[in-house]
């Protein structure tokens, strides 16, 4: 070990904010009746020691164990977990093979759910001074851990030093395997196992983690199911998330992110909004995670559809939430996130140790899904010009529950869209494909010419089959585009509310590949640093799960392979 670890503090705890009796809520996919609590579908952990507290006798037993990168993935990892009651002396013991075990004491972070009043206890231990490219064993426990004699244990590997090959995986929209919850599916268990099948260094989870806000009376329980399901992978390797629209919860903080922010410790961004966006670098690849809720036009989180109000538990002291109320947070950072993004990209452009820039966000700038949300002009306005200017290579999203890959795009066509109602011309800022950036085989791309966008929204949640728009007759699908806010409007029944679909349409001339067979899949990326003076590559293999839309399956098959390449800078 290069230096002794010491207790650490975690900045900017979410406020201990203010939980619900009944109501009907609404997502972009339709009216949803609330699900009651049901038992967690347990299974033996294949990849890590099991840890799950007994809710009937709450104590400090660790559960929902997960890892994230610290400030530098070569030497810092954060171990996070939860317990059903306050833990006494929560701590982590860890060490590499042959090293003396060290102990790091965890910082407690709590919040009170603003709808059902439940207090959630989470813990975070920052392990620093680690050696690059090294495997560490660790144990998580507390003085009131019911498994203190055989505490939860797992292992992880730090990022390599310098330019060295590595693998990462990605998908969004995971949910939980407990089908008692709204918008969950047993496929989410197989999706977590798929990450372990490919043994990545880390996993990117592109928003809409568990859909707790669609189950407002049971939000903490849904998060618990999600965390315990993920643990078989996320305890072995960092899972790096970004917030989606379904991380926004009523009465849980200024932007509704208290559940999310309390559970995750993420790299600092140096702004007033810790945890919402961040960056980290592995080898010569810079990863940037953004919160697109801040810039999108669509108001896509759950809202109270009516006719009854959503009534928090009396213990919270919170007022009933009237039908038609939504939690629309567009613009909450007042441009601070975009300023941070440009500063981060500008620094990368001047850094010869950075060859690749990969952006993770939840909502989509380029999606032709028919049954999903579609594309959002807000992202095109705020961030695509920066992606063009600073040469972002790849953008990974979720949100629409399918797989779609764009051609490399750069710049835009103006007034290429039409109003969905009147047919009049609309400026959707239609992204312009760069066709000369791919080789003759159609699956090799030089991303120095343009940015490729991937929709990876089929992690494990329920996915529609009929996901793509109609062909316009000229060989292109048609994409829906949000160009203005779509706040709730009165529904067909008195006292009920709904949201309008996207207000504009355009030809998806940028769409290169779509999976029309299933919505479920996982993207596996292998980075090759190349040699000095030569090219560096990233190969993506996308695996889908045929038949999973009808019957959950562990069978993931190769759907397509693409190779990205560019000249190495150093």
Would residue 6 count as lying in a domain?
no
Would residue 13 count as lying in a domain?
no
CATH number of the structural domain spanning residue 316:
3.60.21.10
Q: CB–CB of 316/114 below 8 Å? A: yes
DSSP 494-561: TT-EE----SEEEE-TTEEEE--S-S-EEEEEEEE---TTSEEEEEEEEEE-TTTTTS--S--EEEEE
For residue 30, give every residue at least 6 positions away whose Cβ sits within 8 Å of its Cβ, in sequence order, or none: none
The secondary structure of the chain in percent helix, strand, coil, rounded to multiples of 5, reads 15, 30, 55
Size of the chain in residues: 570
Would residue 23 count as lying in a domain?
no
3-state SS assignment for residue 363:
coil
Would residue 295 count as lying in a domain?
yes
Would residue 33 count as lying in a domain?
no
Terminal alpha carbon distance of the chain: 29
Q: Per-residue confidence of the chain (570 residues) as pLDDT tens digits?
A: 333 333 333 333 333 333 333 344 444 433 333 322 222 222 223 334 567 888 888 999 999 999 999 999 999 999 999 999 999 999 999 999 989 999 999 999 999 999 999 999 999 999 999 999 999 999 999 999 999 999 999 999 999 999 999 999 999 999 999 999 999 999 999 999 999 999 999 999 999 999 999 999 999 999 999 999 999 999 999 999 999 999 999 999 999 999 999 999 999 999 999 999 999 999 999 999 999 999 999 998 889 999 999 999 999 999 999 999 999 999 999 999 999 999 999 999 999 999 999 999 999 999 999 889 999 999 999 999 999 999 999 999 999 999 999 999 999 999 999 999 999 999 999 999 997 655 445 799 999 999 999 999 999 997 776 677 666 667 788 999 999 999 999 999 999 999 989 999 999 999 999 999 999 999 999 999 999 999 999 999 999 999 999 999 999 999 999 999 999 998
Q: Is the peptide bond before 307 cis (omega within 30 degrees of 0)?
A: yes
Q: Give the domain extent around 547.
A: 48-567
d(CA 228, CA 234): 10
**Predicted model pTM:** 0.92
Tell how strand 356-360 and strand 285-289 pair up. Answer: parallel
Distances (CA, A) of 494 to 302, 322, 325, 498: 19, 14, 15, 12
What kind and span of H or E run contains 336?
helix 336-349
- Quick one: pLDDT at residue 436? 61
For residue 328, give every residue at least 6 positions away whose Cβ sits within 8 Å of its Cβ, in sequence order, or none: 299, 301, 485, 487
Count structural domains, the chain: 1
What kind and span of H or E run contains 170?
strand 166-171
Would residue 1 count as lying in a domain?
no
Task: Copy the structure tokens of residue 174.
Answer: 């995971």
3-state SS assignment for residue 274:
coil
Q: CB–CB of 337/291 below 8 Å? A: yes
Would residue 42 count as lying in a domain?
no
Identify each DSSP E strand in 380-451 by its residue range.
394-397, 403-406, 409-413, 417-419, 425-426, 430-433, 444-446
Would residue 10 count as lying in a domain?
no
């Amino acid at each position: 070990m290069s230096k002794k670890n010491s207790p650490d503090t975690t900045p900017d705890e979410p406020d201990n904010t203010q939980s619900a009796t009944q109501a009907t809520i609404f997502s972009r996919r339709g009216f949803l009746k609330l699900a009651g609590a049901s038992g967690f579908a347990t299974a033996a952990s294949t990849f890590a020691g099991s840890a799950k507290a007994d809710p009937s006798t709450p104590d400090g037993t660790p559960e929902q164990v997960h890892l994230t990168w610290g400030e530098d993935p070569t030497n810092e990892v954060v171990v996070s977990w939860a317990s059903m009651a306050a833990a006494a002396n929560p701590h982590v013991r860890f060490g590499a093979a042959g090293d003396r075990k060290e102990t790091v004491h965890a910082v407690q972070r709590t919040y009170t759910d603003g709808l059902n009043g439940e207090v959630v206890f989470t813990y975070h231990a920052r392990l620093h001074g680690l050696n690059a490219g090294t495997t560490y064993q660790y144990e998580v426990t507390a003085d009131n851990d019911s498994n203190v004699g055989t505490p939860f244990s797992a292992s992880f590997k730090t990022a390599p030093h310098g330019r060295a090959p590595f693998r990462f995986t990605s998908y969004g929209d995971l949910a939980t395997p407990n089908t008692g919850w709204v918008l969950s599916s047993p496929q989410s268990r197989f999706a977590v196992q798929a990450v372990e099948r490919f043994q990545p260094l880390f996993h990117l989870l592109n928003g809409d983690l568990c859909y707790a806000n669609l189950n407002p009376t049971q939000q903490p329980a849904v998060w618990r199911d999600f965390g315990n399901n993920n643990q078989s992978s996320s305890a072995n390797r960092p899972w790096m998330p970004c917030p989606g629209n379904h991380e926004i919860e009523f009465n849980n903080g200024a932007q509704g992110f208290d559940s999310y922010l309390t559970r995750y410790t993420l790299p600092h961004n140096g702004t007033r909004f810790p945890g919402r966006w961040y960056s980290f670098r592995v080898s010569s690849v810079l990863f940037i995670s953004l919160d697109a809720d801040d810039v999108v036009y669509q108001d896509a989180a759950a809202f109270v559809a009516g006719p009854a109000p959503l009534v928090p538990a009396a213990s919270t002291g919170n007022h009933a939430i009237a039908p038609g109320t939504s939690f629309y947070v567009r613009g909450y950072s007042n441009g601070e996130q975009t300023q941070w993004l440009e500063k981060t990209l500008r620094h990368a452009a001047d850094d010869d140790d950075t060859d690749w820039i990969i952006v993770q966000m939840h909502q989509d700038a380029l999606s032709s899904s028919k049954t999903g949300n579609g594309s959002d002009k807000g992202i095109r306005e705020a961030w695509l010009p920066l992606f063009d200017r600073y040469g972002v290579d790849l953008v990974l999203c979720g949100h629409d529950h399918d797989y779609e890959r764009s051609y490399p795009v750069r710049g835009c066509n103006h007034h290429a869209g039409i109003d969905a109602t009147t047919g009049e011309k609309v400026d959707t800022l239609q992204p312009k494909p760069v066709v000369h950036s791919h080789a003759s085989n159609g699956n090799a791309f030089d991303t120095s010419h343009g940015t490729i966008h991937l929709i990876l929204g089929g992690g494990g949640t329920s996915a529609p089959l009929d996901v793509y728009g109609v062909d316009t007759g000229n060989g292109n699908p048609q994409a829906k585009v949000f160009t203005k806010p779509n706040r709730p409007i009165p529904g067909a029944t008195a006292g009920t509310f709904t949201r309008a679909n996207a207000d504009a349409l355009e030809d998806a001339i940028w769409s290169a590949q779509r999976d029309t067979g299933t919505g479920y899949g996982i993207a596996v990326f292998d980075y090759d640093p190349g040699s000095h003076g030569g090219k560096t590559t990233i190969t993506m293999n996308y695996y889908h799960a045929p038949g999973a839309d009808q019957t959950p399956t562990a069978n993931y098959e190769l759907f397509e392979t693409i190779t990205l390449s560019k000249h190495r800078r150093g």
